[in-house]
Amino acid sequence: MWGFGFVRAPFSPAHGVVRAAAGESPHAVDARLPPAEGCRIPPRYGRRTALRRRSGAMTGEALRSTDLRKIYRSKGAPPTEALTGVSMVVHPGERVALLGRNGAGKTTFLRIASTLLRPTSGTIEVFGYDADRTPDKVRPYIAVVPQEGKPFFHLTPREQIYSYLRARGLGRETSKARTQEALDRMSLTEFADRLSITLSGGQRQRAMVATVIATEAPLLFLDEPTIGMDPFARRSVWESLRVLTRRGSTILLTTHYLDEADALSQRLYIIDRGTVLVSGTAEDLKRSVGGTLKVLLPEGAAEVERFRTFGSCVADGESLTVIAAPERLGELMDVAVRSHLTATVGPVTLEEAFLRVVGRSIHED
Ligand SMILES: Nc1ncnc2c1ncn2[C@@H]1O[C@H](COP(=O)(O)OP(=O)(O)OP(=O)(O)O)[C@@H](O)[C@H]1O
Ligand SMILES: [Mg+2]
């Protein structure tokens, strides 16, 4: 995480940490916590006139990329075109997910947006500031959970969160309160004062997310934030991110978990081979599949012709999936029974939408 090595002011984590540990109840901390301190939008966003940029265009976006391209060139290897012209917009207060298979370009996009990597061409603005040309203007307004980031092993989660907040310029009291709240939210209180090197993989990931959540930065980038977490911890992350957007932050995350994109994002972009294929709400994408029910016939592939009349059919090995409208379900089940096929019925999910848009499952090698 860039901020961990980016110290703007001298600080002494240990002092505040010890005091923060001195038995304040979470409720007491909550009561004192300013709703969105740290979530300061650049001053020019506070005023109407300020929204008008020099070009004369209105901008009220948290993030806008235009035709963003990235080609990785390394000696002795052919160039890799990781982004082939990505244009997207994220509005303030939104939770947006980037969904894509391995190597789709999600991390590359997040790294460019968070000023860690330079694009080959195209532009990217964060709150109206050019992230490539003026990274120093952008950095105070963002916080990042990088893919496979690790907490500092020689710090405890409490020390890590507190020192990160102090490094970002937050005061002692606010930092203590935010640290405790983030530890509580990520159910890390039990491990808060153990060196991170002694924590499990999921606990370390929770510490990473807690650190960034605690910043309440105007724009949070989270690259696969819940990877390795148990279902309970994943839900804690979702709830914390919802709270943050209610307080005014904006969130852009990547995920491989379709249920996560569905439950958490208000809008999502499906990316494949460096290109945005589609964007919209999860509901829009599910509707585009052409039916609301998914009927799985584990041995139905050989009988595909009998089911084509009910909706779109996808054969995979021996199994067949039919996307159907509810009003034709009875008829479809009659055909399945007459064909001696077992069938399982469920709602259409993002899995089918992804398959339709990308042509391959998100899990397929
Ligand atoms: N430093 C690099 N040098 C060369 N190629 C790279 C580099 N980083 C990424 N790539 C390539 O760029 C493409 C996009 O990678 P990226 O990490 O952005 O994908 P991703 O969508 O985040 O994938 P994953 O879901 O596996 O994390 C891939 O083909 C990858 O191999
Ligand atoms: Mg990635």
Higher pLDDT, 303 or 316: 303
> What is the CATH classification number for the domain harbouring 318?
3.30.70
Q: Is the pLDDT of residue 30 over 80?
A: no
Lowest model confidence (mean pLDDT) among 19-28, 64-73, 180-189, 209-218: 19-28
Q: Is 365 in the pocket of ligand 1 (CB under 6 A)?
A: no
Average pLDDT over residues 129-157: 94
pLDDT band at 288 (very low <50, low <70, confident <90, very high): confident
pLDDT surpassing 60 at residue 98:
yes
Ramachandran category for residue 293: left, alpha or beta (phi over 0 → left; psi -120 to 50 → alpha): beta
Same domain, 263 and 127: yes
Q: Which ligand sits closest to the CA of 101?
A: 1
Residue 168 CA to ligand 1 centre (angstroms)? 29
pLDDT above 50: residue 57: no
264 CB-side CA count, 13 A: 33
359 vs 183, which has greater pLDDT? 183
Judged against a pLDDT cut of 90, whether residue 154 lies above it is answered with yes
Interatomic CA distance for residues 52 and 54, integer angstroms:
7
Report the pLDDT averaged over residues 153-170.
Answer: 96
Q: Is the CB of 108 under 6 A from ligand 1?
A: yes
> Do 276 and 243 belong to one domain?
yes
Kindly report the CATH number assigned to the domain that includes residue 157. 3.40.50.300
Q: Which ligand is nearest to the CA of 104?
A: 1
pLDDT band at 224 (very low <50, low <70, confident <90, very high): very high
What integer pLDDT is reported at residue 246 of this predicted model? Answer: 95
Question: Does residue 300 share a domain with residue 172?
Answer: no
The finding on whether 146 has its CB within 6 A of some atom of ligand 1 is no
Mutate to test the pocket of ligand 1, among 108, 145, 269 (most ligand atoms within 8 A of CB): 108
Radius of gyration of the chain (CA): 23
Asked if residue 80 has its Cβ within 6 Å of ligand 1, the reply is yes
- Which pLDDT band, with edges at 50, 70 and 90, does 10 fall under? very low
Is 90 exceeded by the pLDDT of residue 244? Answer: yes
- pLDDT at res. 72: 96
Residues 6+ apart with CB under 8 A from 239: 185
State the pLDDT confidence band at 59, using cuts at 50, 70 and 90. low
CA 208 – ligand 1 centroid, Å: 22
Q: Which ligand is nearest to the CA of 70?
A: 1
In ligand 1, the atom with minimum distance to the C-alpha of 100 is 21
For the residues of 93-160, what is the DSSP string, one character each?
T-EEEEE--TTSSHHHHHHHHTTSS--SEEEEEETTEETTT-HHHHGGGEEEE-TT----TTS-HHHH
pLDDT for the residue 8: 33
Q: How many domains does the chain have?
A: 2
Mean of per-residue pLDDT scores for the chain = 84
Whether residues 284 and 295 fall in one domain: no
CA 269–ligand 2 middle distance (angstroms): 14
**Per residue in 171-198, pLDDT tens?**
999 999 999 999 999 999 999 999 999 9
What pLDDT is attached to residue 34?
30
Residue 133 shares a structural domain with residue 175: yes
In terms of pLDDT, which residue wins out, 361 or 193? 193
Neighbours of 75 (CB within 10 A): 4
Domain range spanning residue 220? 1-288
| Whether residue 261 is found in the same domain as residue 322 | no
Instruction: Please choose from 69, 70, 72 the residue to mutate so as to test ligand 1's pocket, defined by most ligand atoms within 8 A of CB.
Output: 72
| 36-48: average pLDDT | 41
Residue nearest to ligand 1 atom 17, measured at CA: 107
> Which atom of ligand 1 sits closest to the CA of residue 83?
14
Q: pLDDT value at position 84? A: 97
Element (H, E) at 337: helix 329-338
- Ligand 1 mutation target, pool 74, 107, 114, most atoms within 8 A of CB: 107
The model's pTM is 0.81
Q: Does 189 share its domain with 312?
A: no
Measured from the alpha carbon of residue 362, the closest ligand is: 1
The single-letter DSSP state of residue 28 is H
Q: Is the pLDDT of residue 16 over 70?
A: no
| pLDDT reported for residue 365 | 65
72 lines ligand 1 (CB under 6 A): yes
Task: Give me the residue label for tokens 């907040």.
Answer: 165
217 and 106 fall within a common domain: yes
Same domain for 274 and 320? Answer: no
Residues 276, 150 share a domain? yes
pLDDT for 163 beyond 80: yes
Percentage of the chain modeled with pLDDT above 70 = 83
- Condensed to tens digits (0 to 9), the pLDDT of residues 314-331 reads 888 899 989 888 899 999
- 361 found inside a domain: no
pLDDT class for 43, splitting at 50, 70, 90?
A: very low
| Ligand 1 pocket, residue 102 CB under 6 Å | yes
